[in-house]
Structure 1
Amino acid sequence: MSINQQYALDVYRASLHGEPAPPAPGVHDWGAIRELRDYRRFRAVVAGRPAHGRIRAALARLIHPHRGAAGC
């Protein structure tokens, strides 16, 4: 069963029981990704690491190992 078929079945069942229809698939995806990003930033701060720029700093160390992250 595809996700669209499951959604149609859920909407049908909700209408039978007089409940509100569930949200369509994919409606809240970007919000979930934002929450995950915010959670990871929060955990980094709690652990004493910088909250942003970690990927850029890691790439800079790989590209310019003699300069380190501060030189880029």
Structure 2
Amino acid sequence: MSITQQYLLDTYRARQHGEAAPPAPGAHDWQVARELREHRQFRAVLAGRPAHGRIRAALARWLHGRPRPSC
């Protein structure tokens, strides 16, 4: 069963029971992505690493052989 079919079935069941319809698939994807990014930044700060620009700094070290100044 695909996610769309499951959503339609859940919507039908909710309507039969007089309940609120479930959120559509993908409705909260951006919110989840933001929360994941914030959690990773939080964990980086707790570990004593910079929270921003880590990938860019690593690529700069790899390409240029020297660290870039952080902002």
Q: Name the aligned partner's letter for residue 36 of structure 1.
A: L
**Where does residue 2 of structure 2 map in the other structure?**
2
Aligned to 1:68: 67
Q: Are 1:61 and 1:68, in contact at CA under 8 Å, matched by a contact in 2? A: yes
% identical equivalent positions: 71
The residue identity in structure 2 corresponding to 1:9 is L
SS in 2 for 1:37: helix
Partner of 1:50: 50
Is the Cα contact below 8 Å between 1:58 and 1:69 reproduced in 2? no
Q: CA RMSD in A?
A: 1.4
Cα distance between partner residues in 1 of 2:38 and 2:47: 14
On the 8 A contact 1:7/1:24 being kept in 2, the answer is yes
Aligned to 2:37: 37
Q: TM-score, normalised by structure 1?
A: 0.90
List alignment gaps of at least 5 residues for structure 2.
none
The structural deviation recorded for 1:18 is 1.4
Asked if structure 2 preserves the Cα contact closer than 8 Å seen for 1:44 and 1:50, the reply is yes
